[in-house]
A and B are shown apart, each in its own frame.
Chain A
């Protein structure tokens, strides 16, 4: 089955700096890669996603890049703010008919300090 590895497990940056979180996946058939943000005690929230036919996607301060050949994808947050502090999860979708069967990484705890 699919295996998703995520690094780093913790990341501390100063407000205004950039943050990068990296994930690798094992199954070359995976075709969809979402990123979720989870605040303490809350549900994961989808913040950005990318499909396998696209190399990069940007939404304001966040961007995701995908390298299918190397089977890795990354989340980039620019101009970080204290409200960006949370746990971020990457995931990869294995094609299973119409179901979105996702395998998640182990998460990155991002702390943005003043």
Chain B
């Protein structure tokens, strides 16, 4: 079965510091990968998605970037964090093997607090 991991689980960082969040998927090949942010008490905002190694689509102009160095690894980064970057960051995956499988599954998330 497929498993998605994220780390760290929680993170407290000062304004202006860099950020690196990691997501890995096990048990599947060639997944589509996604980064979402959820502000406290709010909905989910799609930040980036990737359909393959090195292929990144950005949905919202912002202070963040994403990279996919390996098939099942997705990284979210920032050079300098802002207070507004605080939130719950969720990685998700969906199968890419068939156009009939649109289901998207979320990782456990990273709770980021920028102070």
Contacts and interface: CB of A to CB of B under 8 A. Distances in A.
Interface of A: 31-32, 34, 36, 42-46, 49, 51, 89, 93, 97-107
Given A44-B90, A97-B51, A102 B104 contact: yes
A42 B106 CA distance: 10
Contacts of B108: 42-43
Given A98-B32, A100-B32, A105-B43, A46 B105 contact: yes
A103 B46 contact: yes
The 8 closest A-B pairs by CB, nearest first: A43-B106, A100-B94, A32-B102, A104-B44, A106-B43, A100-B102, A99-B32, A104-B43
Contacts, number: 56
Interface of B: 32, 34, 42-46, 49, 51, 57, 59, 90, 94, 96, 99, 102-109
A99 B43 contact: no
Contacts of B43: 89, 104-107
Contacts of A93: 102
Contact of A99 (B44, B51, B107, B109): B51
Contacts of A107: 42-43
Given A45-B106, A89-B43, 16 more contacts: A34-B102, A34-B104, A43-B106, A46-B103, A49-B102, A51-B102, A98-B51, A99-B32, A100-B34, A100-B103, A101-B46, A101-B49, A101-B59, A103-B46, A107-B42, A107-B43
B44 A100 contact: no
Given A99-B51, A101-B46, A105-B43, A44 B106 contact: yes
A31 B46 CA distance: 18
B32 A44 contact: no
Given A43-B109, A105-B43, A99 B94 contact: yes
B22 to A, nearest CB: 16
A49 B107 CA distance: 19
